[in-house]
Chain A
Amino acid sequence: MTIGLLIAVTMTLIVASTPILIAALGELVVERAGVLNLGVEGMMLIGAVTGFITMFTTGNPWLAVLVAAIAGLLSSLIFGFLTLSLSANQTATGLALTIFGTGFSALAGQSYSAMPVSLFRSVFPAELTTHPYLRVLFGYSPLVYFSLIMVVVVWWFLKRTRGGLILRAVGENDLSAHSIGYPVRAIRYGAIAFGGAMAGIAGACFPLLLTPQWAEGMTAGRGWIAVALVVFASWRPFRLLAGAYLFGLVMTMELYAKAGGGPLTAIPSELWAAMPYLATIAVLVLISIRRDASTNAPACLGKPFLPSN
């Protein structure tokens, strides 16, 4: 394998993993606060379509990302209102949010299909982004650096700050946190809003990083893979990074197989397309065999908060 190919594969892998990583980081914070939001896929589609439309009409990728984040955040508040203020079932509400996002994005994007936009490219000088070796460091969209910075930020917040400690306490024992006087619902609203904004940005990665157009259902289940990755990473940000890049590798192999990459074409393209989903099942099973995965899960995950007063 030549060094050039290695660099190309690495770069494809990192770019392909970025949306999953961003969405999973958001969901990790939500789940650490004790809430299971299964609407990631729907919020990503909302982010993808609003990001695309903003990019198409203004040509400003920064604005597109911002709009996608706000759209994702607003949609997550529907989930927050139903599950926190009305204590609706989290699983069902998350599914409803995904169904809503699928419908909303199809409706909003229907007159934009197959219209091209430009990608959100690297902001470094051309000498660095096109350099045969240095491009592996500098050749990425700002969204890629954002995802890496957020890994550190989320880790630091959860592990090293008082806010993170309170958030984790709310996820581990909401009733105790409530009796000490922490505003459990407000903290969970905040976590859900953060998760929504991250899912929105993750959705915007599809038209801005991967395929520069809008296509119905273009996130293709990546939101669900992000949810699975949080379990795989046992709710730890750096393991999430490793897991996301593992998936990036699988998806990169699929891309190379499609492009006719030697031995990879021996496997039918449909099997390659199914590979990320099968790999998700495989890693979930493996992580459960290795140890009891549920021991690391936040104790209040998915349970409604019902204080007696």
Chain B
Amino acid sequence: MPFRLEKRPAPSRLMLYATPFGALALTMIAGALVFSLIGYDGLAAVQQIFITPLTSTFRWQDLAVKASPLIIIGVGLAVAYRANVWNIGAEGQYIVGGLTGTWVALATHGMTGIWILPAMVLAGMAGGMAYAAIPAFFKTRFNVNEILTSLMLTYASVQLVYYVVRGPWKDPMGMGFPQTRVFSEAARLPNMIPGTIVHWGVPVALLVALVVWFVMSRSVFGYRIKVVGAAPKAARYAGFSTNATIWLALLVSGGLAGLAGVLEVAGPFQRMVPGFPTNYGFTAIIVAFLARLHPIGVIFAAIVLAVTFVGGDLAQTTTGLPSAASGIFQAMLLFFLLAGDILVRYRVRRVSSQPAAGVRAAAEAQP
């Protein structure tokens, strides 16, 4: 073998932040090849998916609206994954946050007052937290794997949406459609810039990322999360409770997913519909990894993923690429990113001279 991997004394920070860009570049190259092989115009597809949404300015509002829930959920997941708590059910917490927000909107239907939206937001966050509290309770009390519980709860929450829109919350004037009534004016998230679709969830998302970044880098809470995740034994010596950290990680990520849910239902949707679960919670997992679990990185990673969504829609109409293609691109991105992780911990060395190999063989031969 002409190359050999050599363990680095410490993980490379340069590689840690360079590999996401490398993964993105490789995804575009591999994507162009794969889609050419299966009979599409690969280069045009890559251009439509990754470049056009950025170059055509009228798509930017689309990007902002799609990126904001990804930022909010992704920031929460970044915190949880830092603590080594694998909350995979953000989609469920997002859905329940949307549902509890909808509950407030329906209960206050016809009323006016500036307190309604804040009440919805609080209800949404509380809903997301409560739904994340279930895996937290089972994990801390019975040591049940949080990956499985949070994921199973996601499947259950989708059924909960179907139930309420067909049953108790169904719009009586909806001509039989399974959906709630449109929220009153006071329960709708207003547009931030008139004439666009950009709502107040967009600045909220940026604010969330900044606040979490500040908390994670400047506070004892952030330090504690990182220590428990990176060195659980050292954390125990320092007196940091693992259980308390699991609770915090799940409540923060669940609450933020709930916030994204209520902003989404009060903003773009303005009512609860069966199509509310849109996989933002799953895509945000890719966002968190691509951002290297850094809250500010999440903003950029969310924009990249939002680009693939918007670009995927574009490519569908222009080059006939199926909508599932953006899912393939997202998975490839994650594969390349994970593959690139090895460069963070190892360096590639060229094995040039024969003696070196001989020495190594001799060393291996020793008992």
Contacts and interface: CB of A to CB of B under 8 A. Distances in A.
Interface of A: 38, 78, 82, 86-89, 91-93, 95-97, 99-100, 102-104, 106-107, 110, 220-221, 224-225, 227-228, 231, 268, 270-271, 273-274, 277-278, 280-281, 284-285, 288-289, 292-294, 309
B231 interface: no
Given A104-B328, A106-B327, A281-B149, A293 B342 contact: no
A220 to B, nearest CB: 8
Given A273-B159, A277-B152, A284-B148, 15 more contacts: A93-B338, A96-B335, A99-B331, A103-B330, A224-B151, A231-B145, A268-B163, A271-B163, A277-B153, A277-B156, A278-B152, A280-B152, A285-B142, A288-B144, A292-B143
Chain A CB within 10 A, most for which of B153, B156, B332, B342: B156
Contacts of A225: 152
Contacts, number: 127
A153 to B, nearest CB: 26
Contacts of B335: 78, 82, 93, 96, 100
A284 B143 CA distance: 10
Given A95-B88, A100-B335, A231-B145, A274 B156 contact: yes
B21 interface: no
A92 B290 CA distance: 11
B138 A285 contact: yes
Interface in B100-145: 134, 138, 142-145
A-B interface, 4 closest residue pairs, ranked by CB to CB distance from nearest = A103-B327, A106-B324, A100-B331, A270-B163
A117 to B, nearest CB: 21
Contacts of B363: 309
B254 to A, nearest CB: 16
A231 B142 CA distance: 14
Interface residues of B, number: 45
Interface string B312-337: 00000000001111111011101100
Nearest to A42: B331
B162 interface: yes
A251 to B, nearest CB: 13
A103 B326 CA distance: 8
15 contacts: A87-B342, A92-B289, A96-B331, A96-B334, A99-B334, A104-B328, A104-B331, A106-B322, A220-B155, A221-B155, A224-B148, A225-B152, A270-B160, A277-B155, A277-B156
Contact of A270 (B142, B159, B324, B338): B159
B75 interface: no
B364 A309 contact: yes
Contacts of B96: none
B149 A91 contact: no
Contacts of A88: 338-339, 341-342
B286 interface: yes
B244 interface: no
Contacts of B134: 281
Nearest to A109: B324
B172 interface: no
A269 B180 CA distance: 19
A309 B335 CA distance: 26
A215 to B, nearest CB: 13
A37 to B, nearest CB: 12
A208 B338 CA distance: 34
Contacts of B327: 99, 102-103, 106-107
A284 B289 contact: no
B70 to A, nearest CB: 14
A18 to B, nearest CB: 20
Interface string B249-277: 00000000000000000000000000000
Contacts of B286: 99
Contacts of A102: 327, 331
Nearest to B155: A277
Contact of B152 (A86, A228, A271): A228
A145 B69 CA distance: 47
A102 B328 CA distance: 8
Nearest to B149: A281
A226 B331 CA distance: 22
B341 A270 contact: no
A100 B337 CA distance: 14
B167 interface: yes
A200 to B, nearest CB: 17
